[in-house]
Amino acid sequence: MDIPDPEVIFYDGYYYLVTTTMHFFPGGEILRSKDLKKWEHYSYVFDRIESTPAQRLESDGHIYGKGMWAPALKYHDGTFYFAFSSNDMDKTYLYRSESLKGPWKRNEIKGFYHDLSLLFDDGKAYVVYGNTDIHLTELNEDLTGPKEGGLDRVILDDAGNPMLGLEGSHIYKLFGKYYLFNIHSLRERWRRVEAMYVADSLDGEFIGGDIFDNDLGIRDSGIAQGGIVSGPEGDHIIMFQDSGAIGRLPVVVPFKWQDGKPIFDEDNTVEECELVGLNGDDDFKDGHNDFWQFNHEPDFDLIKFEGGYHVTTDKVCRNFFHAKNTLTQKTLGPVTQAKVTIDGSALNDGDFAGLSAFQGDYAFAGITKENGKIYAVMLSNTNNGGIWDLSEEEGVAEEKIELQNSTLTVSVECDFRTDLAKCFIETEGKMIRIGTPHKLRFRLDHFTGCRFALSCFSTESTGGTAVFNDFVLVK
């Protein structure tokens, strides 16, 4: 499951993990575990960031590939601190609360701190951040910006790395010294590796190098970027692995300290974690389950949950990337399939409503209305632009079948062993495939793993409504 940029703390009997949530709202998801093996959804930190037109998908604006990146989580003197940089706002935000359930109080930290880590030490607070050049900056007392005259220095430099320079900082004070963990790539080829550097003081030299260059026999992409945590289960480092279309999968790796260095077991036995309540079924009778997140900030004036998820459009879109109120949930590998029933009786000509394998290269199974008639349709997209560029193409209608009524059950299967999606529709009590198998890809246009998504969008006129009922994970 796509859970990138993890940071984990242990508090009061539980491990708590925070992860990047990008352009999905609510954001700042927190997961919880007793044993590092069984994880569940616990809470979200925020409902919105700034409610800008782009964050709300107004007009042609969007924040795909931006939003909230690489959060930091710390507990200090009775307060939890949660911080992240927002790449569309070019700002850094700090939330604080006495409970991980909130409420959270927010302020800005003046400046932009890429992949930041927080450190509280001897009555002072610091932020460590950056890419290639790793900076350490002392913060003022109210944590709203750099301290005037405070410590501010570059502590690491990975200049000349043609792949990925050092980033993803996680800093700790351990054994009376300062330990900094970072990700970067091997210089000779793309492969994530984890590095560690140690200094006797914050104004001293950080010395170290790569400590973990492994893929656990899963795929040759490496595993890196994450922090360490100590608890009843021992010492662990929690990182992620690029895993194709499903996204960046978290990896929990045990280690032991020896002479101030982490020593990893050479046994590469892999055990699957259990993910509970992070996705699942929903009938939408009077709301939605917590594992759902909207793609961009929702417009609640256009939706309701009354015996189903009702979505009304208020703008004309070229494709469903710009559709407001798309409701998403994470997919779980290696093979997963979902189905949902769609009522399109209140759609207008040019409207589409459906279930998709949602990312830049998508597969969409749903219904559309054309000249007063309802059709089952399979749409797909293959982005031939730059890896950061969001496609503005309409999508390819691979197959269209006229229906005799306006209600249809559709299904999408994602096989992440081959990164292929297949679409199905129900007819005469049987599921039949519509369209062709479609290749899924993790791209930086979305920068997120493939999700299941429910969308309704208009291409000709506004005001159409779709109703989604009985979302079920088939496998």
The pair of three-digit structure tokens given for residue 425, joined into one six-digit string: 């529709």
Q: Which residues pair with 84 in a beta bridge?
A: 93
Query: With 80 as the cut, is the pLDDT of residue 259 above it?
Result: yes
Q: Is the dihedral of CA 434, 439, 441, 445 positive or negative?
A: negative
Q: Over the stretch 19-45, which tens digit does the pLDDT of each residue have?
A: 999 999 999 999 999 999 999 999 999
Ramachandran assignment for 29, one of left (phi > 0), alpha (psi -120 to 50 degrees), beta (any other): beta
What confidence tier does 471 reach under pLDDT thresholds 50, 70, 90?
Answer: very high
State residue 267's pLDDT score: 76
Residues near 290 by Cβ (< 8 Å), separated by ≥ 6?
A: 41, 44, 277
Q: Which residues pair with 368 in a beta bridge?
A: 352, 375
Q: Over the stretch 198-256, which tens digit does the pLDDT of each residue have?
A: 999 999 999 999 999 998 877 888 999 999 999 999 999 999 999 999 999 999 999 99
pLDDT average, residue stretch 53-73:
97
Residues near 197 by Cβ (< 8 Å), separated by ≥ 6?
A: 155, 156, 179, 180, 182, 206, 207, 208, 209
What confidence tier does 56 reach under pLDDT thresholds 50, 70, 90?
Answer: very high
Q: What is the DSSP letter of 322?
A: G
Q: Over the stretch 434-470, which tens digit does the pLDDT of each residue have?
A: 999 999 999 999 999 999 999 999 999 999 999 999 9
For 154, phi then psi, to 5°, come to: -85, 125
Cα–Cα distances in Å, from 5 out to 68, 214, 264, 425?
Answer: 11, 17, 21, 36
Query: With 90 as the cut, is the pLDDT of residue 270 above it?
Result: no
In the sheet with 177-185, reading across from the earlier edge strand, the strands are: 167-174, 177-185, 192-199, 207-212
Query: Furthest-apart CA pair in the chain: how many Å?
Result: 74
State residue 296's pLDDT score: 98
Q: What is the pairing mode between strands 274-276 and 38-46?
A: parallel
Task: Give 237-293 as a 3 state SS string.
Answer: EEEEEECHHHCEEEEEEEEEEECCEEEECCCCCCCCCEEECCCCCECCCCCCCCCCE
The pair of three-digit structure tokens given for residue 378, joined into one six-digit string: 């399979």
The structure tokens 């930290």 sit at 109
Residues near 427 by Cβ (< 8 Å), separated by ≥ 6?
A: none
What confidence tier does 193 reach under pLDDT thresholds 50, 70, 90?
Answer: very high
pLDDT average, residue stretch 301-319:
97
Query: With 80 as the cut, is the pLDDT of residue 134 above it?
Result: yes
CA geometry: angle 318, 324, 325, nearest 5 deg:
140
The residue among 89, 88, 132 whose CA lies nearest residue 108 is: 89
Least-confidence region, from 59-73, 120-134, 254-268, 358-372: 254-268
State residue 76's pLDDT score: 98
CB 106 within 8 A of CB 46: yes
Give CA–CA dist 184/225, Å, rounded.
8
Neighbours of 444 (CB within 10 A): 14
State residue 109's pLDDT score: 98
Give CA–CA dist 344/138, Å, rounded.
56
Q: Over the stretch 325-348, which tens digit does the pLDDT of each residue have?
A: 999 999 999 999 999 999 999 999
Count Cα atoms within 13 angstroms, Cβ side, for 263.
5
State residue 266's pLDDT score: 79
What the chain holds in terms of domains, given with CATH numbers, is 7-275 (2.115.10.20), 279-473 (2.60.120.200)
* Chain centre to alpha carbon of residue 455: 19
Quote the mean pLDDT of the chain: 96
Give CA–CA dist 65/132, Å, rounded.
20
Q: Which amino acid is at 247?
A: G
Give CA–CA dist 366/379, Å, rounded.
8
pLDDT average, residue stretch 268-294:
94
Cα–Cα distances in Å, from 448 out to 50, 74, 209, 215?
Answer: 21, 25, 29, 20
State residue 218's pLDDT score: 78
Q: Which amino acid is at 68?
A: M
State residue 221's pLDDT score: 87
Give CA–CA dist 472/475, Å, rounded.
9
